[in-house]
Amino acid sequence: MLKTRTRRAGALALAVVMSAGALAAMSRSAEAAGGCRTFWVAPDGHDGAPGTKKAPFKTVQHARDVIRAKDLTRNMKCDVTVNLEAGEYPVTSTIELDDRDSGSNGHQVVYRSADGPGKANLVGAEEVTGWEPYQDGIYKTKIDT
Tens digit of pLDDT for each residue in 51-104? 999 999 999 999 999 999 999 999 999 999 999 999 999 998 999 999 999 989
Verdict on whether the full-model pTM lies above 0.75: no
Write down the pLDDT at residue 35. 56
CA distance 90 to 41: 13
pLDDT greater than 70 at residue 40: yes
Q: Which helix (H) or strand (E) holds 88?
A: strand 87-90
Domain boundaries, the chain: 1-33, 34-140
List the end-to-end C-alpha distance of the chain, in Å, as a whole number.
Answer: 81
How many other CB atoms are found less than 10 A from the CB of residue 29?
Answer: 13
SS3 62: helix
Q: Best-predicted range by mean pLDDT among 5-14, 24-33, 95-104?
A: 95-104
In the structure, how many helices (H) and strands (E) does the chain have? 2, 7
